[in-house]
Amino acid sequence: MGGEATELTRLSAAEIGIAVAAGDVSAVEVTQAHLDRIVAVEPELHAFLHVAGIGALAAAEAVDRRRAAGERLGPLAGVPLALKDVLTTEDMPTTCGSKILAGWRPPYDATVTRRLRDAGVIILGKTNMDEFAMGSSTENSAFGTSRNPWDRSRVPGGSSGGSSAAVAGYEAPLGIGTDTGGSIRQPAAVCGIVGMKPTYGGSSRYGLVAFASSLDTPGPLARTVLDAALLHEAFSGHDPRDATSVNAPVPPVVAAARQADVAGLRIGVVSELSGEGFQSGVQSKFTEAVELLESLGAKVTEVSCPHFRYALPAYYLIAPSEASSNLARFDAMRYGLRVGDDGTRSADEVMSLTRAAGFGPEVKRRIMLGTYALSSGYYDAYYGKAQQVRTLICRDFDAAFDQVDVLVSPTTPTTAFPIGERVDDPMAMYLADLCTIPSDLAMNAAISVPCGLAPEDGLPVGLQVMAPALADDRTYRVAAALEAALEQRWGGPLLAQAPALGESKGR
Ligand code: GLN
């Protein structure tokens, strides 16, 4: 790999956008550099399920033509991106990490996909994920596990682990993930990058293959807070094709990321989301970051959210219930896989055989859980009760946001865990989302920003900032302030401390 190409993959999205608009570099050169990087490091990371080499270069050529014709380009024109394979793309397969969708070509683009293309963003390909976004490690993918760029024997988190590994591994400066219970923030935290879950309804679900419709939210992954904000602005905003889309202006996230100041801001540390059960290095890096925010002028207090301890159990009733209903559409007739259709079997038999062969064990577990929770006789005791808990969690947030502007916690209880460690223990796997689930249930905004390396294992730790619905900009303001102060302390970005990848090839 040439030195110049390596340099292009080190640039931030903001820098690439400026360089392309100024004509200092072509979108094709930038795209080719990232495709080369993918070739070099994919054997180590397995972040992608599909790479769109020719399609990406054609999109880049189109950007270069627009510039040559004198068109003013937007801030992300010519910037490469890794798209989670749960959003539809008319020119690429969409598998959701499942065998049941193998070979399916969606006939249309998701709104997020479409808006990215319109912004001149170059979609490099589709990234690996836990099957139907159910998981915290990408180990539930039917197509193999992605690896953490910091330590290839560990998971990159999930379910948006492919996009996170791609961004942390410099295969793309930007990624799209989706967050239902933490699937953007959790992988971002354990890969040492920025991940943001917008307010529910702030980003469109049209063309997002549904897991739990009352929770699913697409959002940005990036190496810097500003890049995440630029991406957030590029694909967010009202979409008449999504009935739960919020009809309100996109919060001023880019301005907030540039403001990067916490003077006078009231920050609440959630007492229920730290302490016992948290890895010591996660706890210590989190505490240091909070002290740093205080030294920057924030007013820090401790805030109790007593019902957060019931968030995880409530989520594991609500999300599987919605999933069991959403996944009924995979009936062997409409999409992808069809097993046993030899003319001797009934449609019911073909459907059973197809679902048995096409869904992995975690998806089957969720369907059974959800079907049980929704069955008559149990509905009130499980699904109904979980919805009541959801309301109590929203009230905890409301009460907290009467006292403070944002809440903070560690993003995850531990750093990236070893591949294989939790695959046979669903409860241990579910605990990875302990801190992220409350914001999904309450449909508000939350970001994860790197806050250091845990001393005991040298792996990244994330700090989570939560804000009220539609106050997404506040999370960026705090994250950007923390990022700037920490980078001054570290003498550069955290990712600069990650080990080199792709070296084995050339040497
Ligand atoms: N890990 C959680 C789950 O398995 C959250 C997944 C997500 O946010 N998509 O359900």
Q: How far is 430 from 502, CA to CA, in rounded Å?
A: 32
Q: The tokens 């340099």 sit on which residue? A: 7
Token duo for residue 174: 């930007």
Q: Say if residues 130 and 163 touch (Cβ distance below 8 Å).
A: no
Atom of ligand 1 nearest to the CA of 433: 1
At 1 the pLDDT is: 41
Who lines ligand 1 at CB under 6 A?
Answer: 133-136, 159, 179-183, 211, 319, 433
Quote the ligand 1 centre to 393 CA distance (angstroms): 18
Quote the ligand 1 centre to 338 CA distance (angstroms): 27
Q: How far is 100 from 170, CA to CA, in rounded Å?
A: 30
Query: What are the CA-CA distances from residue 331 to residues 9, 110, 328 (Å)?
Result: 42, 22, 7
Burial 291-308 (b: 16+ CB within 10 A, else e): ebbeebebebeebebebb
At 121 the pLDDT is: 98
- The alpha carbon of 63 is separated from its chain's Cα centroid by a whole number of angstroms, namely 26
Within 10 angstroms of residue 345's Cβ, the number of other Cβ atoms is 14
Q: The tokens 């024109």 sit on which residue? A: 77
At 503 the pLDDT is: 66
- All residues at 6 or more sequence positions from 315 whose CB lies less than 8 Å from its CB, including other chains: 181, 215, 386, 433, 437, 440, 441
Q: Check whether 399 has a pLDDT greater than 50.
A: yes
What band does 276 get if pLDDT is binned at 50, 70 and 90?
Answer: confident
The residue whose CB lies within 8 Å of the most ligand 1 atoms, and thus the one to mutate among 183, 214, 316, is 183
Token duo for residue 285: 């890096």
Tell me the domain boundaries of the chain: 9-307+391-502
Q: How far is 300 from 312, CA to CA, in rounded Å?
A: 26
Quote the ligand 1 centre to 139 CA distance (angstroms): 12
Share of the chain above pLDDT 70, in %: 98
At 164 the pLDDT is: 98
For residue 416, the 8-state DSSP code is P
The residue whose CB lies within 8 Å of the most ligand 1 atoms, and thus the one to mutate among 185, 200, 205, 433, is 433
The torsion region of residue 108 among left (phi > 0), alpha (psi -120 to 50) and beta comes to beta
Q: Check whether 324 has a pLDDT greater than 70.
A: yes
Q: Say if residues 153 and 143 touch (Cβ distance below 8 Å).
A: no
Q: How far is 460 from 414, CA to CA, in rounded Å?
A: 10
Q: 3-44, pLDDT tens digit by residue?
A: 566 799 999 999 999 999 999 999 999 999 999 999 999 999
Atom of ligand 1 nearest to the CA of 429: 1
Burial 42-63 (b: 16+ CB within 10 A, else e): bebbbbbbbbbeebbbebbebb
Atom of ligand 1 nearest to the CA of 135: 4
∠ Cα 109 115 117 (to 5°): 75
Average pLDDT over residues 485-491: 98
The residue whose CB lies within 8 Å of the most ligand 1 atoms, and thus the one to mutate among 96, 136, 203, 369, is 136
As separate numbers, helices (DSSP H) first and strands (DSSP E) second, the chain gives 18, 11
Q: How far is 252 from 443, CA to CA, in rounded Å?
A: 18
Quote the ligand 1 centre to 181 CA distance (angstroms): 5
At 502 the pLDDT is: 81
Strands (E), 205-310: 217-222, 266-270, 299-303
Is residue 74 helix, strand or coil? coil
The residue whose CB lies within 8 Å of the most ligand 1 atoms, and thus the one to mutate among 129, 130, 160, 448, is 130
How much is the mean pLDDT over the chain?
96
Q: 441-469, pLDDT tens digit by residue?
A: 999 999 999 999 999 999 999 999 999 99
Q: 212-233, pLDDT tens digit by residue?
A: 999 999 999 999 999 999 999 9
- All residues at 6 or more sequence positions from 314 whose CB lies less than 8 Å from its CB, including other chains: 386, 387, 389, 390, 393, 441
Quote the ligand 1 centre to 25 CA distance (angstroms): 39
Q: Check whether 386 has a pLDDT greater than 70.
A: yes
∠ Cα 211 172 463 (to 5°): 65
Q: How far is 460 from 462, CA to CA, in rounded Å?
A: 7
Is residue 457 helix, strand or coil? coil
Average pLDDT over residues 142-146: 98
Q: How far is 254 from 258, CA to CA, in rounded Å?
A: 6
Pick from 184, 198, 215: nearest CA to 256? 198
At 3 the pLDDT is: 58
Share of the chain above pLDDT 90, in %: 96
Average pLDDT over residues 317-322: 98
The CATH number given to 9-307+391-502 is 3.90.1300.10
Q: Check whether 361 has a pLDDT greater than 80.
A: yes
Atom of ligand 1 nearest to the CA of 134: 4
Quote the ligand 1 centre to 299 CA distance (angstroms): 33
Q: How far is 382 from 207, CA to CA, in rounded Å?
A: 30
Pick from 221, 109, 77, 204: nearest CA to 159? 221
Indicate the pairing of strand 445-453 with strand 48-51: unpaired
Quote the ligand 1 centre to 414 CA distance (angstroms): 16
The residue whose CB lies within 8 Å of the most ligand 1 atoms, and thus the one to mutate among 159, 369, 464, is 159
Quote the ligand 1 centre to 459 CA distance (angstroms): 22
Token duo for residue 232: 């957030």
Q: 49-105, pLDDT tens digit by residue?
A: 999 999 999 999 999 999 999 999 999 999 999 999 999 999 999 999 999 998 899
At 131 the pLDDT is: 98
List residues with catalytic annotation: 84, 159, 183
Q: How far is 424 from 361, CA to CA, in rounded Å?
A: 11
What band does 173 get if pLDDT is binned at 50, 70 and 90?
Answer: very high
Sign of CA dihedral 437, 202, 156, 46: positive
Token duo for residue 42: 């994919």
At 167 the pLDDT is: 98
Type of residue at 400: A
Quote the ligand 1 centre to 342 CA distance (angstroms): 36
Atom of ligand 1 nearest to the CA of 182: 8
Q: Check whether 286 has a pLDDT greater than 50.
A: yes
Q: 405-441, pLDDT tens digit by residue?
A: 999 999 999 999 999 999 999 999 999 999 999 999 9
Q: How far is 53 from 299, CA to CA, in rounded Å?
A: 49
Q: Check whether 183 has a pLDDT greater than 80.
A: yes
Q: How far is 351 from 371, CA to CA, in rounded Å?
A: 17
